[in-house]
Structure 1
Amino acid sequence: MARLATSPQADTALILPAGTVLIHRGQTADGVWHLQEGQIRLGLMDETGMVHQLGQQEGPLWIEAASVVLDEPYLVDVVADTDVKVEKIALKDFQSRCKTWPAASRELMHDLARSQRQQVELAVSRLAKDADARCAEWLLRHAEQDPATKRLQVYLNERKRIIATQLGIAPETFSRILRQLRESELISGRGRILQLTNPDALRSLAGA
């Protein structure tokens, strides 16, 4: 992807490549990021990359500013999904700006930040269910009986990337789980149609 041009009005803006980790969960902010252009992914990472994806966002917007406002550790990891143009405002400068607001405005901002953080906490807690179990559950929920063979099958009428987003996992994680399910002979087939060769085992995996 071509690099984004730096705006002459944004001398402090940085152009960062896709894959750059902007925020690590568990860390306390030393500043606040403003995404001017580009797209980011939010979720949970391990040493292999993004394994659970909560969503994608496009600029312009403030990135996870609720944690900064509340002075609490970040709940999610944030990665540049494309080349991005960003600016990082030092924490002391951000706090100084906020102090110039009327007390009622600061109280409202704090309440909105708390509400937003609670929503993120809930979303993260839902990811506690194992990715394998969520994939198995999704396959069973979308399965239909083939009139000819009487076997259950799933027709992937959406791109795997979109399905992965629905499941809250990274696309590469979804592909890896499908491969493991094939190797375990719980499913078969490639391309758009998957056969559920062992529905009982899938139900067990899904916790049904």
Structure 2
Amino acid sequence: MESFVLPAALRSKARPSQASPRASAATATKVQSGIKAEHWLQLLGGQAVADSEMRALTELVRLRPVVAAESVFRSQTRADHVIAVLDGVVGLGSIGPQGQFHLERSAHGPAWLDISSAWVGQGHTQDAQAMGPALLLELPVKSLRPLLHRYPDLQDRFMLALAQTVQSLTGATHDLMAKDAQKRLISWLLQRMAAPAGEVALRERKRELAAQLAITPETLSRLLRQLMAAGLIEVKGYSIKLLKLADLRALAQA
């Protein structure tokens, strides 16, 4: 049988972390133009934000551009802000004694990086580091708290965003404890699938996806080869097409 060559979309070197001139220009443009309505829509549980609420939030926002490998926050440092990535990718994990970053999961903007620590007055539970040029959003809880009292609907949206974050992390923890590597990969593919086409658009580099599934990049390559050989998936460029949904769901639940 021919050896399987992993498509460029899933190779570790497929998407270098160095900032390209085009990416740097895009980030600079976003800093100048500020946060947009669609950012709030995705950050606050898919609920539309009223103009008055958006203006009030925007007055509190601090936008911070970061470059590849720049620290976003460190574990155990005091958290005074809720923090999100608006554009780009930020990795969450731990920094080893020699300064090396161990990736556990990645967040593609717009997405929350830490929406909870500042509320409970504790330090961040993980280290966060930019995987490439990115734009961060920071909201000081000291100012955000009275704002949410003034806007009850906005408070509900933040509660929804927090609940969705907790639910996502709880589901990921359950999968790590209860499912083997193949089931975790299939579950991830099914969750990311765009209906009805049955395709998964790949945003993650191979290393990022493997870290999210708690497996090595080599194991990820092997599992993808197995699913392809079984006729369950087809890899094309930057997407994976799920061919036999019923069989994949059965494997994920077995």
TM-score with structure 2 length normalisation?
0.43
| Structure 2 counterpart of 1:5, one-letter code | A
Q: In 2, Cα distance between the equivalents of 1:34 and 1:163? A: 20
Residue ranges of structure 1 left out of the alignment (5+ in a row): 128-136, 139-158, 175-208
- Corresponding residue to 1:50 among 85, 89, 101: 101
- On the 8 A contact 2:107/2:113 being kept in 1, the answer is no
Q: In 1, Cα distance between the equivalents of 2:121 and 2:164? A: 14
* Aligned position for 1:28: 78
Displacement of 1:24 after TM fit? 1.6
Q: Counting helix residues as a fraction of each chain, which structure ranks higher?
A: 2
The yes-or-no answer on 1:80 pairing with 2:80 is: no
Change (3 A) 1:14 1:169: farther
Change (3 A) 1:15 1:111: closer
Q: In 2, Cα distance between the equivalents of 1:164 and 1:57? A: 14
Q: How does 1:1-208 map to 2 (within 5 A)?
A: 1=19, 2=21, 3=24, 4-6=27-29, 7-10=31-34, 12-47=62-97, 48-54=99-105, 56-102=106-152, 106=155, 109-110=158-159, 113=162, 116-117=165-166, 120=169, 161=207, 164-168=210-214
TM-score with structure 1 length normalisation?
0.51
| Structure 1 counterpart of 2:111, one-letter code | L
| Structure 1 counterpart of 2:100, one-letter code | G
Q: CA RMSD in A?
A: 3.9
Give SS of 2:116's match: helix
Displacement of 1:92 after TM fit? 1.7
- On the 8 A contact 2:91/2:128 being kept in 1, the answer is yes
Which of the two has higher C-alpha Rg? 1
Q: In 1, Cα distance between the equivalents of 2:64 and 2:164? A: 30
- On the 8 A contact 2:77/2:124 being kept in 1, the answer is yes
Q: In 1, Cα distance between the equivalents of 2:206 and 2:62? A: 37
* Aligned position for 1:188: none
Residue ranges of structure 2 left out of the alignment (5+ in a row): 1-18, 35-60, 182-204, 219-254
Listed one character per residue, the Cα deviations across residues 100-158 of structure 1 (whole Å, up to 9, x for unaligned) are 232x874784586367458648968999xxxxxxxxx97xxxxxxxxxxxxxxxxxxxx
